[in-house]
Structure 1
């Protein structure tokens, strides 16, 4: 339990701590952003659009063997395209496909400050997305993302991924049915 979990009002002035082993090296949280190797993830989303991916070296383990060499890992940024509040919790839709290597319990809301407590949200596949079969195998096996309870459409969410990704791996392939030439 952290101080920001006990006193949620502190989240406006102190960023939630992050697990350094789950994020790339030189990752710095702020109250409304995450910087990886001095690159702002919210600014990256402004420039590149969403979904987007930033790749950097993994953090070294606490006790590293002599033959350890850093591997690449990524931070993905996605926009929230839909929010439904149900009696059982939140259901989110993102404009990205969640890769299997995503560390979803380390997800961060970026772009705005919030003092709302973090809550689990089920992430559903977008309608018409054909490439999401691996990430969302069945309706009961949907991915669970931990986000602030006041998440809204248009918010940006970033999360670390344990391997280096390309944009193609997180971009949703939308299939249009009934289109004529």
Structure 2
């Protein structure tokens, strides 16, 4: 558990830590963005729209960020199209969420535990949400409880994924 998990208001001044082994080479988080090999994911979305994918060298596990000479990894950025809050369960501490995104993460081999909001700071606690594409591919990801339509999610993926595999058919 990280300090930003325990005290979410700290996210305004320090970014959530990244697991260096799960992201592509030279990935750095800021409070509102993620830079992969020097490329801002927010700027990439400005230029390309969503869904979009950025590929770079994978990291050799256990090296705290040393790039692999052969393996590749990528980050997929998707936009939230709809947020459905499920009926409250009296025995649960939170209401489950279902978010509809504009890209199919099911074929991307995502690392859902590392998904993160980009584009704005959220001080809401994280909850588990079903992240669903329009063709009903589902991936379970942690998202801020205050997630809303238009938000961007960046999700690191093992290996590479072509953009056409993310697009809805």
Query: TM-score category by the smaller chain?
Result: 0.7 to 0.9
2:132 aligned to which of 86, 107, 124: 124
Q: Give 1:146's aligned residue.
A: 142
Match of 2:92 in 1: none
For normalisation by structure 2, the TM-score amounts to 0.88
State how far apart, in whole Å, the 1-side matches of 2:125 and 2:36 are: 24
Q: Specify which structure has the higher proportion of strand.
A: 2
Contact 1:59 1:70 in 2 (8 A): no
Q: Please report the TM-score for the alignment, with normalisation by the length of structure 1.
A: 0.82
Indicate the SS of the match to 1:84.
strand
- The Cα shift of 1:62 comes to 2.1
How many residues matched? Answer: 157
Q: Which residue of 2 aligns with 1:107?
A: 115
1:116-161 CA-to-partner distances (Å, cap 9, x unmatched) read 11111012231xx4xx6xxx3xxxxx32111111110000101001
RMSD: 1.4
Corresponding residue of 1:166: 162
Please say which structure displays the higher CA radius of gyration. 1
Could you tell me which residue of structure 2 aligns to residue 90 of structure 1?
97
- Residue number in structure 2 paired with 1:16: 16
1:20-31 correspondence to structure 2 within 5 Å: 20-31=20-31
Question: Runs of 4+ in structure 1 displaced over 2 angstroms?
Answer: none
Q: CA deviation at 1:100?
A: 4.7
Match of 2:91 in 1: none
- CA separation in 1, counterparts of 2:142 and 2:82? 16
Q: CA deviation at 1:45?
A: 0.6
What residue is the counterpart of 1:81 in the other structure?
81
Q: Distance in 1 between matches of 2:21 and 2:140?
A: 20
CA distance in 1, matches of 2:55, 2:71: 10
